[in-house]
Structure 1
């Protein structure tokens, strides 16, 4: 009888532990979409909502590039920095702010590029992307050639 009770307690414990782990995984794993997977792209300050995804991507890329260059040139003397390409990946969150900002490429330039993105994030709140009528997180990746 003692063995049966112990077995019952152990089974109950493992059943509860599995439930907790499953719910924790769901909360920690938000879905991040690509721009073409959304119904409505995030809108960058200075862009309007265009009828096609490609027009929205083009405007977004152009505005982001212009803002990057503007801030980079105002903060740093590019003539004293090494040259190279930095690819920045980031997520525009459903709250309209940048997050998960990461850089790769020319290692010595990544800190400068990340600093510029921090400044961009202070200045701009995006209209978030929409999927099925709900704001969602969207992942972007952009290369920047620093010369």
Structure 2
């Protein structure tokens, strides 16, 4: 399996909201954890770039584990956030063409903040000309470079693919990603009637709405996410992904295909790469 790369370039825009028709000027840039020894703004920015970019890369390296399953090629997002007066991240905004990649970029900031909190470590906030802490806004383009041939994605054999499925007693809800990079939720009742429920810009937005929030949290806790169920050659199979929502580099993502019979696994297949799964006969069960 070829490796994918994540590329980051940090561009610092030092400004705050308008107060009394004036824009405060940053006299000292925020200092990221580990950069305290540097004094000049140029040194601080250079260290911030290197340290923060590596922290981002560590968090969203996981994205490459599912990009080939979803047939995601090269993509990019623009990450905007502020370092507030207390040295915390805030006003996070991610703008990009692919909602799944946007979700991982967004979550990377949340995870970095959580780790800083656990370590009781603080980013030193930016200071104005009176050495008073101030909000500083920053912009970072984040680019994902796939080493797969782009034709793999343009020739994908279906308009939509099931990302994961929420299984209820009377119906299921499929979360799908289509070729236009739109996340759509589709309800399917016992009579196989499909009905459109809504669309979302990213997984973070989806995870704030019930019943998705509870089910995503359950998948995160258990490590198992139902992708879909379907029949091949008259037999019904369950397709699930392990560690889809973990976002931890050490957790290996696996796609498992299971056929149950007499309460046992009559058939079991495990795919360590999504490229391998996509070449299997079971991949067609995820097409819509």
Would you say same fold, with TM above 0.5?
A: yes
**Correspondence for 2:47:** 59
**Correspondence for 2:64:** 78
DSSP-derived class of the 2:43 partner:
helix
DSSP-derived class of the 1:50 partner:
coil
**Correspondence for 1:42:** 30
Q: Choose the corresponding residue for 1:116, options 94, 108, 112.
A: 108
**Correspondence for 1:11:** none
Give the CA deviation at 1:123.
Answer: 2.0
**Correspondence for 1:140:** 138
Structure with the greater relative contact order (CA < 8 A, sep ≥ 6): 1 or 2?
1
**Correspondence for 2:127:** 130
Structure with bigger strand share is 2
What TM-score do the two structures reach when normalised by structure 1? Answer: 0.69
Unaligned runs of 5+ in 2: 1-16, 117-121, 146-288
Give the CA deviation at 1:63.
Answer: 1.0
**Correspondence for 1:25:** none
Unaligned runs of 5+ in 1: 1-28
Question: Partners in 2 of 1:49 and 1:94 — Cα distance?
Answer: 20
Question: Partners in 1 of 2:35 and 2:107 — Cα distance?
Answer: 24
Say what the alpha-carbon RMSD is for the aligned residues. Answer: 2.3
Determine if contact 1:45/1:126 at 8 Å carries over to the other structure.
yes
1:93-130: CA deviation from partner (whole Å, max 9, x where unpaired): 00110000001123321111101111112123311111
Give the CA deviation at 1:51.
Answer: 3.7
Structure with bigger helix share is 1
Determine if contact 2:60/2:108 at 8 Å carries over to the other structure.
yes
DSSP-derived class of the 2:77 partner:
strand
Give the CA deviation at 1:77.
Answer: 4.4
**Correspondence for 2:84:** 93
Question: Partners in 2 of 1:77 and 1:128 — Cα distance?
Answer: 30
DSSP-derived class of the 1:63 partner:
helix
Determine if contact 2:75/2:98 at 8 Å carries over to the other structure.
no
Q: Segments of 4+ in structure 1 off by > 2 A? A: 48-52
DSSP-derived class of the 1:41 partner:
coil
